[in-house]
Structure 1
Amino acid sequence: MTPIRHNASDNDPVLDAVRDCVLAVGVRRTTLTDVARRAGVSRMTLYRRWPDVRSLVGDLMTREWIEAATGAMPERGQVADARTLIVQGLVNGVDAFRRHALFRKIIDVDPELLLPYVLDRRGASQDALLELLAAAVEEGHADGSVRPGHPRRQARSLLLVAQSFTLSLRTMTEEDDAELGTEAFYGELRTILERTLTP
């Protein structure tokens, strides 16, 4: 499977600083001055790369989401075939996102930041995840574990399903038994994905 290429921002102290600021006070209360101070750089250094906090947070989300998604994929040698890799990776990925500290903070405090990526356009992290999924689907075509079809369209459909579970699952779980409800829904997600992909 083709790995997602990370860029120079993967270990960027400025992105580390904005992550710490957002976790502390949320996006709306984070300022470039706060980030610059925490990162030990001048505000002008930040302005050369990012015009505002939202663009800086956008790069942070790209880094964090790609890291969470790729970290959720099982090792190729640990699974029997590409379909199992995809299904396990997506279920793990949904769980990883829902537990991710930055994702939870944004959902709780600044959920409007995610709306453009749900309603209007794909973000860089979504494009990277589609690249990863399409490559895995093509592997599944080759090993016979995934039904024939257009690999990129199949990848987009898989991501749509995973996004709905990631963003909306808490609206469907019972408050008095959230953990059991979540695990049960992960089982349903696994079934949906298996039946979608099985030849």
Structure 2
Amino acid sequence: MNSGNQDAANPLKGLSEAKSGKGPPPVHLWNPPFCGDIDMRIAQDGTWFYMNSPIGRKPLVQLFSSVLRHDADGNYYLVTPVEKVGIRVDDAPFTAVRMAVEGEGQRQVIRFETNVEDEVTVDAAHPLRFAPEEGTGGLKPYVLVRAGLEALVSRALFYDLAAAGVVQDGWFGVWSSGQFYPMQKASEIGLGP
């Protein structure tokens, strides 16, 4: 990391002040100086690494995740009131690891819990999206957790999500909170004309 700030090498600096109260801190309101990149990475499976070693303490991962921000430049940063450091994210910063489905049809509601224990109800503010999976021809589902931060829905949950799907206007997809989230044209998977 290239920085004149000696404290920038310590990713814990400022986190104790940042994490207070309930819910994630207002990182979108903070505009501290950029202090460089640190050797931190979030793997596709949601594992956080610091200097190529997995961070095994879940409370520490939750603390870091609470000050994570995805900026308009496409990069991910840990942001505190006093500094901003860049980290690498292989795919999405979070992984959806649990799912609950209540109701059916247009009244169906889908909820996810992430690997850092964020709870998300799929709705207009937290939509699902389906992206092509490179090299397989399959789909990868994502749910918006907060402010540009998504969770990749795990493969096992994707099967459960597909089991909750229906055909609507020529598309196969799922309903949640009165919104329909299309996955694929029904005709492409043998469910329509």
TM-score normalized with structure 2 length:
0.31
Q: Which structure: greater strand fraction?
A: 2
| Greater RCO structure (CA 8 Å; 6+ sep) | 1
Q: Which structure: greater helix fraction?
A: 1
TM-score normalized with structure 1 length:
0.30
